[in-house]
Amino acid sequence: MSVASGRPPVRMAVRSVFDAGALRSEFESAGISTKFLPLIWRHALDNPNCDLEDVPSLPSAAYPLLRDKFRTMTSSVASAVDSADGTTTKLLVRLQNGSYIEAVIMRYDTRLGKYDGKPRPGGLRSTLCVSSQVGCKMGCKFCATGTMGFKSNLSSGEIVEQLVHALRLSNIRNIVFMGMGEPLNNYSAVVEAVKVVTGSPFQLSPKRITISTVGIIHAINKFLGDLPNVNLAVSLHAPDQETRCQIMPAARAFPISRLLDSLQVYQKTCGQKIFIEYIMLDGVNDQEQHAHQLGNVLEPLKVVVNLIPFNPVGGGTSSHYKATPSQTVLSFQKILRGVYNIRTTVRQQMGQDISGACGQLVVNLPLRRPLGLTTLLPDIEDLRI
């Protein structure tokens, strides 16, 4: 195959055509205009398994370069598992280096405000939760990904490819960086991937992209310059340093007082509201006093607080935690709303039965079943975004 098609041997590492930085610099070194990049991406998006030599209308020097150094896709979907209610699909994606990551599609019907189980053309607007790393080094005590430790960073192309895979199944309009890994620990790849998906041909609005971080202060300080209009979500999870350190070791390196200061600077500069994520752990951070403390520390900021019911995860310290009873979650919400006038929502739990909910992503290969062919069939209309 390699000789007949002129393709390099499979073991040679090739870049994803969606690795914008690599493709751009190869084109520039060869004196080829980078205005052709969106044309290549459009073709690759419409024909995920195509030969790059079939991309029409490129300068002739582009073809040998694409053939030798790039592939349309460097990852593949190893399995796709649907939740029983059909709202959620978890994709197990195999990367070129043999590692696996997960991405989760969540479907909502925007006209009804909730998923109603009946897909209609254009009616469903899905959100894709993407991974940015294989594993994560931040070690949050309640998170399954944290138990894996850090394995590797994804390239920008591997991040974009998660969207390309998902677009074959759903009409993705929103992306949240809430899958495996800490996106701001893989900053340059995440920034580059966001630039690709907000440009031609994907054209997602930056306002529909949310990057969730444990609170890497130096990266938050750069965020605005590099990612204007992209939403920032901060996993705060506790209103005080002591409780935060107890459940999030990263809080020692990024103390809550300095984190909140950096959020004030961020907000003064851009005026954008900040999403505050707050996991509800029974008896740990969910008491009335925590709600009042949280209301006070957030007082200088314009925020939306998202209370996250704890999703059970097996193994490690995470199995010590229990979810806060829903009545207590509602009382917590009532304090933040009623006393502090903070918009506070409770995150809808989706995909728990397929371990596809927040913090449940950990690659556990033997548990996955193979991808059914019907799941793979792309909806052509969905691809025309």
Ligand X SMILES: C[S@@+](CC[C@H](N)C(=O)[O-])C[C@H]1O[C@@H](n2cnc3c(N)ncnc32)[C@H](O)[C@@H]1O
Give the catalytic positions in this structure: 102, 358
β-pair type (231-235, 150-153): unpaired
Quick one: which of 93, 209, 214, 276 contacts ligand SF4 (CB under 6 A)? 214
Nearer to ligand X, 44 or 129 (CB): 129
Nearer to ligand X, 203 or 348 (CB): 348
Residue 201, preceding peptide bond in cis (omega within 30° of 0):
yes
Half-sphere exposure of 218 (CA within 13 A, CB side): 4
Radius of gyration of the chain from Cα atoms?
Answer: 21
- Partner from ligand X, ligand SF4, none contacting 135, C-beta within 5 to 8 A by type: none
Quick one: which of 146, 157, 215, 309 contacts ligand SF4 (CB under 6 A)? 146
- Does the protein bind ligand SF4 through residue 174 (CB under 6 A)? no
- Does the protein bind ligand SF4 through residue 145 (CB under 6 A)? yes
Question: Contact at 8 Å (CB) between 140 and 248?
Answer: yes
What is the distance between the alpha carbons of residues 266 and 232, in angstroms, rounded to a whole number? 10
What is the distance between the alpha carbons of residues 56 and 1, in angstroms, rounded to a whole number? 23
User: To the nearest whole angstrom, how small is the minimum distance from the Cβ of residue 342 to ligand SF4?
Assistant: 22
β-pair type (209-213, 231-235): parallel
> Is the four-CA dihedral 158, 161, 166, 168 of positive or negative sign?
negative
Tokens of 28: 């520039």
Quick one: which of 182, 192, 286, 382 contacts ligand SF4 (CB under 6 A)? 182
Tokens of 250: 């990263």
59 CB-near residues (< 8 Å, 6+ apart): 32, 33, 36
Nearer to ligand SF4, 135 or 201 (CB): 135
User: To the nearest whole angstrom, how small is the minimum distance from the Cβ of residue 317 to ligand SF4?
Assistant: 11
- Does the protein bind ligand SF4 through residue 143 (CB under 6 A)? yes
- Partner from ligand X, ligand SF4, none contacting 231, C-beta within 5 to 8 A by type: none
What is the distance between the alpha carbons of residues 91 and 105, in angstroms, rounded to a whole number? 8
| Window of 114-122, 138-146, 341-349, 369-377 that interacts with ligand SF4 by CB under 6 A | 138-146
How does DSSP assign 141-155, residue by residue? TT-TGGGG-EEEEPP
Residues contacting ligand SF4: total by CB under 6 A: 11
**H or E element in which residue 164 lies:** helix 156-167
Question: Contact at 8 Å (CB) between 92 and 100?
Answer: yes
What is the distance between the alpha carbons of residues 148 and 150, in angstroms, rounded to a whole number? 7
Nearer to ligand SF4, 182 or 192 (CB): 182
| Window of 75-83, 139-147, 203-211, 239-247 that interacts with ligand SF4 by CB under 6 A | 139-147
- Partner from ligand X, ligand SF4, none contacting 185, C-beta within 5 to 8 A by type: none
Nearer to ligand X, 47 or 152 (CB): 152
User: To the nearest whole angstrom, how small is the minimum distance from the Cβ of residue 50 to ligand SF4?
Assistant: 34
User: To the nearest whole angstrom, how small is the minimum distance from the Cβ of residue 212 to ligand SF4?
Assistant: 7
Angle, nearest 10°, between helix axes 288-297 and 326-338?
Answer: 40
- Does the protein bind ligand SF4 through residue 259 (CB under 6 A)? no
Interaction site with ligand X (CB under 6 A) = 140, 142-143, 145, 178, 182, 212-214, 235, 277, 279, 308, 310-311, 313, 358-359
The site string for ligand SF4 over 64-103 (x = CB under 6 A, - otherwise) reads: ----------------------------------------
| Strand partners for 360 | none
User: To the nearest whole angstrom, how small is the minimum distance from the Cβ of residue 259 to ligand X?
Assistant: 12
